[in-house]
């Protein structure tokens, strides 16, 4: 089945992912490393924890897309969002800032390869479940966290 004009296309999705990640990554790289350890507010995450959160959602999306590619059915999460986010924050605290940055870059590359392996039909299947998952955990997610980099 060929995608229609209103269905998502892998090439366009990859371009949006790449543009979004490049802009986000550029902003991260512009921040002095010591500022990545600063809290984003009273009782809030540090920027480093936020970057660990981005990596965690990249990895979860990678896993869910692989399960989807194998089964043809949307893949859910084993935990709720709050538990996932708390785990991501704890994990980032136990790593150096350099390790967290490297993990974010590596997780993006793995996720990008998983998206590139999809077909347009898979991306648009189940009311574009995979396309929405990718958008929400890549370029849409980066936009959400851009204010954290100011």
CA-nearest of 53, 51, 54, 74 to 63 is 74
Please compute the mean of the pLDDT values over residues 101-121 and round it to a whole number: 97
> What's the pLDDT score for residue 5?
52
> What's the pLDDT score for residue 7?
83
Please compute the mean of the pLDDT values over residues 61-71 and round it to a whole number: 97
Q: Is a pLDDT exceeding 80 seen at residue 2?
A: no
> What's the pLDDT score for residue 1?
42
Please compute the mean of the pLDDT values over residues 49-60 and round it to a whole number: 97
Please list, in sequence order, all residues whose beta carbon lies within 8 angstroms of the beta carbon of residue 92, skipping any fewer than 6 positions away.
Answer: 46, 48, 49, 51, 52, 53, 100
CB 32 within 8 A of CB 149: no
**Among 1-10, 11-20, 59-68, whose mean pLDDT is lowest?**
1-10
Its pTM stands at 0.92
Q: What is the CA radius of gyration of the chain?
A: 16
Please list, in sequence order, all residues whose beta carbon lies within 8 angstroms of the beta carbon of residue 93, skipping any fewer than 6 positions away.
Answer: 46, 48, 49
Q: What ranges do the domains of the chain cover?
A: 44-149
Q: Give me the half-sphere count of Cα atoms (radius 13 Å) on the Cβ side of residue 15.
A: 5
- Mean residue pLDDT across the chain: 94
Strand partners, 46: 39
């Amino acid at each position: 089945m060929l995608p229609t004009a209103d269905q998502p296309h892998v090439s366009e999705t990859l371009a949006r992912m790449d543009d979004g990640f490049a802009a986000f990554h550029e902003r991260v790289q512009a921040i002095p490393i010591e500022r990545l350890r600063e809290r984003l507010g009273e009782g809030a995450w540090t920027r480093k924890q936020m970057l660990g959160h981005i990596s965690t959602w990249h990895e979860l999306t990678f896993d869910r897309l692989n399960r989807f590619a194998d089964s043809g059915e949307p893949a859910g999460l084993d935990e709720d969002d709050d538990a996932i986010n708390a785990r991501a924050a704890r994990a980032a605290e136990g790593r150096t800032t350099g390790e967290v940055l490297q993990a974010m870059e590596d997780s993006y590359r793995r996720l990008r390869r998983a998206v590139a392996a999809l077909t347009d039909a898979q991306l648009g299947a189940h009311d574009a479940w995979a396309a929405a998952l990718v958008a929400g955990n890549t370029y849409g997610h980066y936009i959400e966290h851009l204010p954290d980099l100011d």
